[in-house]
Amino acid sequence: MIAMEQTMRWFGPNDPVSLRDIRQAGCTGIVTALHHLPVGLTWTKEEIRMRQAMIEAEGMKWAVVESLPVHEDIKKRSGHYQEYINNYQESLRNLGACGVRVITYNFMPILDWVRTNLEYVVEDGSRALRFELEALIAFDLYMLQRPNAGQEYAPSQVAMAKAYYDALSDSSKKELYDTILQGLPGSEESFTREEVLAALNQYEQIQPQDLKSHLFEFLKAVTPIAEEAGVVLAIHPDDPPFSVMGLPRIMSTEQDITDLIHAVPSMANGLCFCTGSYGARPDNHIAEMAAKFADRVYFLHLRNTKRDSEGHFFEANHLEGDTNLPEVIYQMVLEMQRRKKSIPVRPDHGHQMLDDLGKKTYPGYSAIGRLRGLAEIRGVEAGIQLMLKAQQSA
């Protein structure tokens, strides 16, 4: 039977988790991007091949691009957006020419992901990423001081955030500030308060339906090029899958996926199905979504979250959160048999544990926690494959 292609994310030569580490974890594919290139610049064949050579020297292949970032001008459909679309088209052509076939991207404005605690200590002593709603509101109201932000929250939420903020020490306030205003994953950049407020102001008049329209116009321009280049596009959902700091969110629900496919029916328009991002919303039924949209899943992020009734969540161990990951894996195994082709999968946001507790790594991307996640994913898939094989021979 056809098995999932096991991969891990690698942030490039400066990543403290090396290619050799990832190879020893049993991976055959690497998920990476040219993080050193400015957003919007064309990825040349020379740059792509240099990265491929590094990966192939360690006995693996560049399986998935994560991500080929979309410039903010494209999201706003302003400024030099047409130039950046042209560059994106050329990057797709070059990636296809070099044999890299799966291209992940997202359409989240400004911030690629948001957490409020990068070192949340779970019961077993390992550390996880956590999102606390009152921490975000406290940041928004009392640290960022976004104009009119208070109108977006219920009085009870404002009171909760005020109590949270007042209890913070100066060092804790700085830590929260630095955590939320981190740059894109794989980057050492961080945003200042003034930069964030200026960026947020640019989206003040852009409603969710506007941003969704901009996404569809972008896809109508780049999807035909993807078809010609022999690559597929895989959109990553919003993380978290609801509005933060007033920003519109347009890839958070089952309906959002339906709208995406309806707007651009091409099979080159697909999904990076992230169980953790979609799973942070209680109204998303992840296994059902995986079954419904299986034919559009070109890349699989497997992670789990544990929610509470207050709107908080943390990154649970892969098999211990609110999402039934074995059922998702089962649906993907069925889809691979139908396609007669593997789907690349990576464990996502593993806990920081064991020897990694004393190391500095990209948040969520330490080695041992992801290795545990990959081992659990591999074991579940092996059991499903064995069950299906027994059913077929019965």
What is the pTM assigned to this prediction? 0.96
**Which of 84, 120, 362, 365 is the catalytic position?**
365
Tell me: pLDDT of 95 over 90: yes
Residue 285 annotated to the active site:
no
Q: Among 47-51, 85-89, 104-108, 150-154, name the one with the lowest average pLDDT.
A: 150-154
The tokens describing 222, both together, are 């780049």
Residue 379 pLDDT class (50, 70, 90 cuts) = very high
SS3 140: helix
pLDDT digits (tens, 9 = 90+) for 140-196: 999 999 999 999 999 999 999 999 999 999 999 999 998 987 654 434 556 678 888
Taking all residues of the chain, what is their mean pLDDT, rounded to a whole number?
95
Residue 267 pLDDT class (50, 70, 90 cuts) = very high
**Which of 71, 165, 274, 318 is the catalytic position?**
274
The whole-number pLDDT of residue 142 equals 96
What CA dihedral angle connects 18, 178, 134 and 139, to 10 degrees?
-150
Q: Cβ–Cβ contacts within 10 Å for residue 255, how many?
A: 8
**Which of 35, 71, 301, 351 is the catalytic position?**
301
Tell me: pLDDT of 310 over 90: no
- Residue type present at position 2: I
Mean predicted confidence (pLDDT) in 204-230 = 97
The whole-number pLDDT of residue 244 equals 92
Domain ranges, ordered by start, for the chain:
5-113+206-393, 117-199
**Which of 35, 71, 214, 236 is the catalytic position?**
236
The answer to whether residues 130 and 276 touch, using CB atoms and an 8 Å cutoff, is: no
The answer to whether residues 369 and 346 touch, using CB atoms and an 8 Å cutoff, is: no
The tokens describing 230, both together, are 């022999």
**Which of 15, 349, 351, 362 is the catalytic position?**
349
Mean predicted confidence (pLDDT) in 24-31 = 97
Residues 377 and 363: their CA atoms lie apart, in Å, by 21
The whole-number pLDDT of residue 111 equals 86
Residues 31 and 17: their CA atoms lie apart, in Å, by 13
Q: Among 86-95, 177-186, 315-324, name the one with the lowest average pLDDT.
A: 177-186
Residue 365 annotated to the active site:
yes
Tell me: pLDDT of 127 over 50: yes
Q: Cβ–Cβ contacts within 10 Å for residue 14, how many?
A: 10
**Which of 21, 256, 348, 356 is the catalytic position?**
348
**Closest of 366, 268, 384 to residue 325, by C-alpha:** 384
**Closest of 237, 242, 328 to residue 281, by C-alpha:** 242
**Closest of 302, 299, 311, 259 to residue 278, by C-alpha:** 302
Residue 301 annotated to the active site:
yes
SS3 340: coil
Residue 236 annotated to the active site:
yes
Tell me: pLDDT of 235 over 80: yes
CATH of domain 5-113+206-393: 3.20.20.150
Tell me: pLDDT of 79 over 70: yes
The whole-number pLDDT of residue 189 equals 58
